[in-house]
Amino acid sequence: MSPRKKYFVEGDEVAHKDNLKLKLIVERIIKYTKKVTVYGQKEKVEKSFLSGIRCGWWDKKVWLMKDFHSNHLVPWEIAVQGKEKVNEWLEQN
């Protein structure tokens, strides 16, 4: 995965910006659809929106999962470089 990548996909290794030592694996991208009005059109159009990203990690011998906001996740290869690099990446993305 490229360090400049803004979007995550299933299987990506990431970390939460407040816990850089814990490697998380993207399990699922959580989306929802909604009908919205588009300027210049009479009928509503169905659009998909990002709701969150479900990640998993090992805690001893137990696989845990939690949903996170995408703005709180950073690529693992950036997380291992430390807080300063994480902050730079977050500002650019």
Tell me the whole-structure pTM to 2 decimals. Answer: 0.79
Q: HSE on the CB side for 80, CA within 13 Å?
A: 7
CB 68 within 8 A of CB 19: no
Ranges of each domain in the chain: 13-92
- The answer for 62, left when phi > 0, alpha when psi is -120 to 50, beta otherwise, is beta
**Measured distance CA(46)–CA(37) in Å, rounded:** 9
Question: What confidence tens digit (pLDDT) does each residue in 10-45 have?
Answer: 999 999 999 999 999 999 999 999 998 888 888 888
pLDDT tens profile 46-61: 899 989 999 999 998 9
Nearest to 90 by CA among 32, 14, 24: 14
